[in-house]
Structure 1
């Protein structure tokens, strides 16, 4: 098993990607630390982890709070005595607005809540990760790969996360710690299904399946990646299969675009 008896922290666990990442790690033999705002959601994922025969520590917290990083790292080490990998999947959505009009205060707040929050947590975990030659994966977005007027703040955050991972790879590579980014394309799950439903309703003469087929027709594999497939890519990057991979971005998009 790829992660047998290792400990994986997932920062940002909801019903979507965070859940799939945690369960993928547990299926491969890892115990998991689950961090997010909603305690009930964490408890549900913890039950699923337990059904797979692994342990889960739930830590309800606000990752934008500077005090959270130390508390989360301490809780993980007190419970398990080690942390082998951390996946940063948390997102405080920034304003969807162009750089020419977005309030700079809001942009600054979004940068702190996302990029600096990820860096704060990572810094707290460095000693434990170095002890076990561990790995960090930042979850990016296809928005990094193109420019769309209203998505500037979101692109800034996701690109900054990748740059952060690259520099950390250079800084802590000598200690054996690896840092990478996974860059999903459009992910077929509840959120996108709901959006396609909205588009179908607006057009009035098509179904969700029609919208899906229109989008998939432009993708090399003629289908959209699903959440568990992105989770598998994350699992690869934190596992020893990627032991010589650091400072990289792995695009998971079915061939929607090439980078």
Structure 2
């Protein structure tokens, strides 16, 4: 089981203040990593960092907007100055604006695509320079089943996540020779602050469960294992892949 240990590694997790990002930051810390928690919400990201420190790991809270190159550069420089290296990147920050395609305003499209696609690229590019120079790295992009099949989550969201999956493949192809792997996970529905309101709609939940072979909503802890695997030596010969963590949903789509 030593192959799954992250002892001595440093991870940077974007969107680490709440929901999936927070769960993954804590899970990486439990697997042995020191963690840089990055988000726009200062109080939340600091709370996540405190919880990691309570587990005996080093943690740094950084407030930054992933769509700003200047802020991303400053955040990565702060992380390197504080912890000396970044071995693992989890690109998790993302948003959605749910509207039918005919009602999507240009600013809606720009906001979703900038956060979900431009942001992960800026962070991956900035961190990737250091990983490629070091000859080692694990990049994990948090995409969505919505990037693989058509969902009612909206055209901008689906397009951004599809783009993120393809970006994963291209970065994997380019960076493999430097010892850097790039993979993605594709979650289905998990209980988070962002999905809480949707999951209060009993009819909508019934439709979700009818299209999920496991017939249940995912638990956040069920995302930790896949990410620890992709961050560890256990996945050393895996790159350019998308692991759908979806209870079987993408077997037949939604």
TM value normalised by structure 1: 0.87
**For 2:241 and 2:56, how far apart are their aligned partners in 1?**
32
Name the CA shift for 1:245/1:167 in 2 (closer, same or farther; >3 Å).
same
The alpha carbon displacement at 1:82 in A equals 0.7
**For 2:227 and 2:31, how far apart are their aligned partners in 1?**
12
Stretch of structure 1 that moved more, 102-111 or 44-53: 102-111
The alpha carbon displacement at 1:217 in A equals 5.2
Greater C-alpha radius of gyration: 1
Residue 230 of structure 2 is aligned to residue 230 of structure 1: no
**Cα distance per residue 1:218-257 (max 9 Å; x no partner):** 4333322211111221121111111111001000011123
Question: What residue in structure 1 maps to residue 162 of structure 2?
Answer: 159
Residue 230 of structure 2 is aligned to residue 252 of structure 1: no
Equivalent residues, number: 248
Report if the CA contact (8 A) 1:95-1:106 is conserved.
Answer: no
**Runs of 4+ off more than 3 Å:** 103-106, 188-194, 211-218
Work out which of the residue numbers 232, 235, 243 in structure 2 matches 1:239.
232
> How is 1:59-208 mapped onto 2 (pairs within 5 angstroms)?
59-94=62-97, 96-98=99-101, 100-104=102-106, 106-130=108-132, 131-148=134-151, 151-197=154-200, 199-200=201-202
Report if the CA contact (8 A) 1:96-1:154 is conserved.
Answer: no
Question: What residue in structure 2 maps to residue 206 of structure 1?
Answer: none
TM value normalised by structure 2: 0.89
Question: What residue in structure 2 maps to residue 207 of structure 1?
Answer: none
The alpha carbon displacement at 1:17 in A equals 0.5
**Cα distance per residue 1:61-106 (max 9 Å; x no partner):** 12222211211110111011110010011114346331x5533454
Name the CA shift for 1:3/1:149 in 2 (closer, same or farther; >3 Å).
closer
Instruction: Give structure 2 stretches of 5+ with no counterpart.
Output: none
Name the CA shift for 1:170/1:45 in 2 (closer, same or farther; >3 Å).
same
**For 2:71 and 2:58, how far apart are their aligned partners in 1?**
22
Report if the CA contact (8 A) 1:217-1:223 is conserved.
Answer: no
Backbone CA RMSD of aligned residues = 2.2
Work out which of the residue numbers 213, 218, 232 in structure 2 matches 1:220.
213
Stretch of structure 1 that moved more, 215-224 or 25-34: 215-224
Name the CA shift for 1:195/1:103 in 2 (closer, same or farther; >3 Å).
closer
**Cα distance per residue 1:38-60 (max 9 Å; x no partner):** 11101111111011100110101
Report if the CA contact (8 A) 1:184-1:253 is conserved.
Answer: yes
**For 2:165 and 2:116, how far apart are their aligned partners in 1?**
12
**For 1:85 and 1:69, how far apart are their aligned partners in 2?**
16
Report if the CA contact (8 A) 2:97-2:154 is conserved.
Answer: no
